[in-house]
Amino acid sequence: MTAKKAFERLPTSVKPINYNIRLHPDLEKFTFTGVEVIDVEVKQSSRTLKMNSAEIEVQSATFISSGKTMTSTAITTCDEDETLTVSFDSDMPLGTGQVKLDFTGILNDKLRGFYRSSYTAGDGSLKRIAVTQFESTDARRAFPCWDEPAIKATFDVTLVSPVKTVALSNMPVIKENIEGDLKVTTYDRTPIMSTYLVAFVIGEFDYVEGKDRNGVLIRTYTPVGKKAQGEFSLDVAIKTLPFYNDYFEIPYPLPKLDLIAIPDFSAGAMENWGLVTYRETALLVDPENTSSGTKQWVALVVGHELAHQWFGNLVTMEWWTHLWLNEGFASWVEFLCVDHCFPDWNIWLQYVNMSLKRALQLDALDSSHPIEVPVGHPNEIDEIFDAISYEKGNSIIRMLQNWLGAEPFRKGLALYLKKFQYSNAFTEDLWAALEESSGQPVNKVMSTWTSQIGFPMITAELAETTDEVRIKVRQQKFCANGDDSSAQSWFVPISVISQSNPDKPTCYLLEGKEGEILIEGAKPGDWIKVNPGLIGMYRLNYSDEMLKRLLPAIKNQALGAADRLGIQEDLFALAKAGYNNTANLLTLMGAYVNERNYVVLSSINGNLSELGSLFSHLPCFTQFKAMRRRIFSRILEEVGWEKKETDGHTDALLRNMLVVTLGKSDDEQVLARCQELFNTHYTGGKQIEADIRGAVYLTVRQDGTDETYRKLMDLFNKTDLHEERERVQRILGTGPNAALRSETLEFAMSESVRSNDTPFVIHGVANAGPEGRDQTWAFIKNKFPVFLERYSGGFLFTRLVQVTSNFTTMDHYKDIEKFFAENKAPSAERAVKQSLESIKLRAAWLERDGESVAQWFTEQGL
């Protein structure tokens, strides 16, 4: 077998200084022509010039220096390396010069590089769009360039487009000329920046605009006729930009900021400097039809992308190994931003379910990876845009901020950004700035979290006397398979509160395997809570006595919501890994009889749903559904079906969750009420409230009838609101009828479903129980070449692979392992390993605890 060629970064003999780029896309033929003149500095004499290029044909290349022009003798490309080499008959002279290239390319349909999109306007006309998505390494599909984050330059952009279109780039327009039915738009020069942040959009759009308190012009662009749906995100951006100005102590450096909704978009959004692109559902909010959950997501995504304007754009990671510097930080500060804009949303408590939990789940796997992982080829880069870079990254930042203190942490960030603005940085540079601001050994502590896989499990035991309370703590690596052989350790900031002193934590840095902590203000007999607020990224394994003392504080809610949530989250993880028994977890649930907090209930429900997925093919699944009805039906009675004037933001989220859960649990009253609401809604009567509309659709789809399916499809075809279309298409395949599930899978591949939505429609079928999973996996295998062609190298291909992770038998494991051994999945190899490991873990969990759980259900009279 031929050894895989080692990846090499571009030579440093020639450095770009400024790109002058002129592009003319043809929105009918899906091609573009381009001319670029690149100001360069030749640092070492060479007859060749090597840069990145993919799917581009270069017609001519010249080098100009000191008035002399050198014409290329050869232009060669390497598809594997995505490089372009231009050769000359003599050395390019040292010093400054210009490289001039004429080229053509395609507006592809792969949602990457320079690609095409479209939408149908309210009058039925088709509106075509040319748009870019360059992160991580796809600027090379729009123009030949040095497509590495550390090779920064400035950019002068000119776009040629039809007169009736809006043409946008990173900077404001400085000149626009009309040439027949075309316009030539030239933009101001950008700051020095990385290629992956350059952006162009051409199409017909409406917009709403405003200025922040510092006079920055902000616009939200929408499809024609939908500009009212841009008001909410515009308002969030207007509030957010000054907040970040103050927090980072650096003004937003560009004169304008555009946010634009793109109909076909692979990720949630992309932080292009000054021109942020979004999925429609991540930017647009319809006052009548958008749910509170979607509205919250829009606010978080806007906050995330705007944070990147500093953390990523102003200061950029030196190489993709340090991706987490971009994504981990932005994923943390988005919550800070939303808490500032919407303090009544209780977003930091939701953070535990939305971010910390995902990080702990993935990082417990053997197939996880360190936050900092060496990457080379673009296929490897795509694989690390995952919960480790995002969620583990932001979780350790949250833990670090708490350990250092909010103000020393903020000052350190500002110091880091000022020192490295308009340049590149390594992780160690951030640690050095935080050490300077705080005086703490940040690098020594945090390198244990970024350089190795996993996180610790802290075992806590009481060691109290008549005079004082201490706890003994020891750490070991938490493993999803219950293995305890690892010698890994971390520097772990630990905080502890007690019943007698709940508001002033005792803080301790565990530097070795074991330690002993004197709990300040605690009295013998107190409950003791380790990791209050769930700030630390570790699992807690309490001694029996410590857990016993905590149970009354859960029931009477003397413990805060985050701590009530955390106790059952930790025990769930321990049971799943085999450190404890699942029946003990179910017994613990009895302490939550008085729970009414949405986030805590959502955590409990999520864990029960995972259990339900595990047992869905067993006889005890009927008893499981009865248990869920017992827990949640009385809460829905209290909350009610309709929004009240006294409702807060999370009340709407709770109501939706309860309807979904009870519908899946065959609650007869919920099934009947949903059918009633749906029938009235469908026939043009009272419309279902946006906050529970998706839950009602999901519930009525479970009747499995062709009539309901056709009604839902009719709603899909009649709406032009993307959120409503998503509501329908993601639940179409969830019913019990195999023929309708097959129809949904074929529908997912049709032109009726946007390419970026297809994987989510397929996921819906996989969520239809064991039969749905089998049906979906068979479909993916059959269509694999199509998926490979359509999605390989992007986020969506990984999402498809993840469909396999919920199987529970070793027969499925062997089938999936064999398939991917014979059918390579570039950019998703790590996802395949993680899915296989998850299957093996689920099979072991079921074998280990299946009988005891079934016995528990029987003992409860279910």
pLDDT tens-digit profile of 636-692?
Answer: 999 999 999 999 999 999 999 999 999 999 999 999 999 999 999 999 999 999 999
Kindly indicate the confidence band of residue 804, based on its pLDDT and cuts at 50, 70 and 90: very high
Q: State the maximum Cα–Cα separation within the chain, in Å, rounded to a whole number.
A: 92
Question: Which amino acid would we find at residue 593?
Answer: V
First-last CA distance in the chain? 58
Residue 447 has pLDDT above 90, yes or no: yes
Whether the CB-CB separation of 114 and 68 falls below 8 Å is answered with: no
Q: What does the block give as tokens for 100?
A: 């001039």
Closest CA to 572 of 548, 601, 606, 549: 606
Average pLDDT over residues 574-597: 96
Task: Supply the pLDDT for residue 827.
Answer: 80
How many angstroms separate the CA atoms of 32 and 27, rounded?
9
Whose tokens are 């504080």? That residue is: 553
What pLDDT sits at residue 382? 79
Report the DSSP pairing between strands 74-78 and 456-464. unpaired
Q: Are 355 and 395 in contact (CB under 8 A)?
A: yes
State how far the Cα of 389 lies from the Cα of 331, in Å rounded to an integer.
9
Report the pLDDT value the prediction gives residue 76, as an integer from 0 to 100.
97
pLDDT at 377: 75
Q: How many residues are listed for the chain in this entry?
A: 862
Give the pLDDT score at 792. Answer: 81
Residue 396 has what pLDDT?
A: 98
Q: Between β-strands 256-262 and 217-223, what pairing exists: parallel, antiparallel or unpaired? A: parallel
Q: Within 10 A of 557 (CB to CB), how many other CB atoms are there?
A: 16
* Residue 241 and residue 252 in contact, taking contact as beta carbons nearer than 8 Å: yes
Token pair listed for 703: 């009747």
Contact predicate 334/282, CB 8 Å: no
CA pair distance 285, 723, nearest whole angstrom: 9
Burial class (CB in 10 A: 0-12, 13-18, 19+), 66: exposed
SS3 168: strand
DSSP codes of every residue in 691-721: HHHHHHHHHHHTT--HHHHHHHHHHHHH---
DSSP 651: H
The pLDDT tens digits for 815-824 are: 999 999 999 8
**Closest residue by Cα to residue 604 from 592, 615, 614, 620:** 592
Closest CA to 368 of 378, 358, 353, 356: 358
**Sheet of strand 46-52, all strands in order from the earlier edge strand to the far edge:** 46-52, 83-92, 74-78
- Tell me the C-alpha distance between 748 and 754, whole Å: 8
Q: What is the pLDDT of residue 4?
A: 53
Is residue 261 within 8 Å of residue 278, measured between CB atoms? yes
Q: Quick one: which H or E segment has residue 532?
A: none
Spell out the alpha helix ranges (H) of 665-768: 668-682, 690-701, 706-718, 722-729, 738-748, 758-766
Mean pLDDT of the chain: 95
Contact by Cβ (8 Å): 809, 543: no
Q: Is-catalytic flag, 305?
A: yes
Residue-wise pLDDT tens digits, 93-147: 999 999 999 999 999 999 999 999 999 998 999 999 999 999 999 999 999 999 9
CA distances from 839 to 570, 638, 714 (A): 21, 38, 37
Nearest Cα to Cα of residue 547 among 519, 570, 577, 524: 570
The confidence score (pLDDT) of residue 501 equals 96
Q: Could you give the CA distance from residue 243 to residue 237 in angstroms, rounded to a whole number?
A: 10
3-state secondary structure of 862: coil
Q: Which helix (H) or strand (E) holds 387?
A: none
Q: What local confidence, expressed as pLDDT, does residue 2 receive?
A: 39
pLDDT tens across 521-579, in order? 999 999 999 999 999 999 999 999 999 999 999 999 999 999 999 999 999 999 999 99
Name the nearest CA neighbour of 510 among 434, 466, 455, 557: 455
Helix (H, G, I), strand (E, B) or coil at 782: helix
Using the predicted structure, report yes or no on whether residue 1 has a pLDDT greater than 70: no
Closest by Cα among 325, 207, 326 to 273: 326
Look up residue 427 and give its two tokens: 């992780």
Answer whether residue 3 shows pLDDT above 50: no
Tell me which residue of 674, 701, 675, 820 sits closest to 765, measured CA to CA: 701
Residue type, 324: W
**Residue 62 pLDDT > 70, yes or no?**
yes
Residue 97 contacts residue 42 (beta carbons within 8 Å): yes
Residue 474, beta-bridge partner list: 459, 514
Catalytic residue among 82, 148, 305, 327: 305
